[in-house]
Amino acid sequence: MNDQTPLSQNIPAGQATPPGQAMPLDQATPLDQATPLDPQPLDPQPVDPQPVDTSPSAHPRNFGSDNWAGAHPEVIAAITDANVGHTPGYGGDPWTARLGEVMKGHFGPSAQAFPVFNGTGANVLALQSALPRWAAVITAASAHINYDETGAPEKVGGLKIIGAATPDGKLTPEIIEGAVLGRGNEHNAQPLAVSISESTEWGTTYTPEEIRQIAETAHRLDMILHVDGSRLGNAAAYLNTELGSLTTATGVDIISLGGTKNGLLGAEAIVVLNPDIGQGMKFLRKMNLQLSSKMRFLSAQLGALYDGELWRTSASHANTMAQRLAAGLAEAAATGRAPDISIVAKTESNVVFVHMPEEVAARARQKFAFADWPMAKNVVRLMCAFDTTAEDVDDLIAAIVEA
Q: What is the DSSP string of 222-255?
A: T-EEEEEETTHHHHHHHHT--HHHHTGGGT--EE
Lateral strand order in the sheet of 112-116: 112-116, 268-272, 254-257, 224-229, 190-197, 135-140, 160-164
Q: How many CB atoms lie within 10 A of CB 96?
A: 23
**138: enclosing H helix or E strand:** strand 135-140
Low-confidence spans in the chain with pLDDT less than 70: 1-49, 56, 403
Instruction: Return the pLDDT at 44.
Output: 53
Instruction: Return the pLDDT at 51.
Output: 76
Q: Which regions of 121-274 does DSSP assign to beta strands (E)?
A: 135-140, 160-164, 190-197, 224-229, 254-257, 268-272
Instruction: Return the pLDDT at 332.
Output: 96
Q: How many CB atoms lie within 10 A of CB 150?
A: 10
Instruction: Return the pLDDT at 34.
Output: 38
Contact 380, 361 (CB under 8 A): yes
196/168 Cα distance (integer angstroms):
12
Give ∠ CA 364-368-371 in degrees, rounded to 5: 85
Amino acid at 48: D
What's the length of the chain? 403
Instruction: Return the pLDDT at 3.
Output: 56
Instruction: Return the pLDDT at 48.
Output: 67
191/221 Cα distance (integer angstroms):
9
Instruction: Return the pLDDT at 47.
Output: 59
For residue 268, the SS3 value is strand
